């Protein structure tokens, strides 16, 4: 069993760095041997490369904008589209999770179970390090959701 947990986002864009901060928080405590927590940042191609080693499940943690109250933590199954043409392959970094997942699907390395733990942002556009107080307060909740999902995938993680 191998479960990947990928924290994504840009830590230099305020709340956009939420996924990275959650990944760092998860790494502060013992992580089961079957779970690999990754700080992907904005380099989605790194996630695709990790998937070549195989994975039974993938949990992505990211900042989202779904129109919910700021700080709301949600779990979603992403809608991963097929590569439609050469324009879909133009971004060599695959900085967004959607594009990295599309590329991984095209390469047939995407696990069957892919989930996103997202947190509604306050502001993911402003430059600067650090989360807003609202999102900082949601980090532990999101980390708890990640551990719960990993348990549902069959790996004990307290």
- Per-domain residue ranges for the chain? 3-152
* The CATH homologous superfamily of the domain defined by 3-152: HybD-like (3.40.50.1450)
- Quick one: pLDDT at residue 84? 62
**H, E, C per residue of 29-69:** CCCCCCEEEEEEECCHHHHHHHHCCCCCEEEEEEEECCCCC
Q: CA 151 to CA 22: how far, in whole Å?
A: 17
pLDDT band at 93 (very low <50, low <70, confident <90, very high): very low
Contact 118, 73 (CB under 8 A): yes
Which SS3 state, helix, strand or coil, does residue 136 take? helix
Tokens read off for 114: 């892919």
pLDDT in tens, 100-113: 888 888 889 999 99
pLDDT in tens, 16-49: 999 999 999 999 999 999 999 999 988 888 898 9
pLDDT over 70 at 95, yes or no: no
Q: Considering the entire predicted model, what is its pTM? A: 0.91
C-alpha distances (whole Å) from 53 to each of 46, 56, 82, 152 are 12, 10, 22, 22
CA-nearest of 136, 20, 121, 144 to 66 is 121
pLDDT in tens, 48-73: 899 999 999 999 999 999 999 999 99
């Amino acid at each position: 069993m191998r479960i990947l947990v990928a924290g994504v986002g840009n830590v230099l864009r305020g709340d956009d760095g939420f996924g990275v901060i959650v990944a760092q928080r998860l790494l502060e405590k013992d992580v089961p041997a079957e779970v690999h927590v990754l700080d992907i940042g904005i380099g989605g191609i790194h996630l695709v490369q990790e998937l070549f080693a195989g994975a039974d499940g993938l949990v992505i943690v990211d900042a989202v904008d779904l129109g919910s109250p700021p700080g709301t933590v949600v779990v979603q199954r992403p809608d991963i589209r097929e590569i439609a043409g050469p324009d879909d392959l133009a971004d060599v970094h695959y900085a967004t999770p959607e594009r990295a997942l599309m590329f991984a699907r095209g390469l047939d390395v995407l696990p069957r179970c892919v989930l996103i733990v997202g947190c509604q942002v306050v502001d993911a556009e402003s430059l600067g390090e650090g989360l807003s107080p609202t999102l900082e307060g949601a980090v532990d909740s999101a980390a708890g959701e990640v551990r719960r999902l990993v348990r549902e995938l069959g790996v004990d993680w307290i």
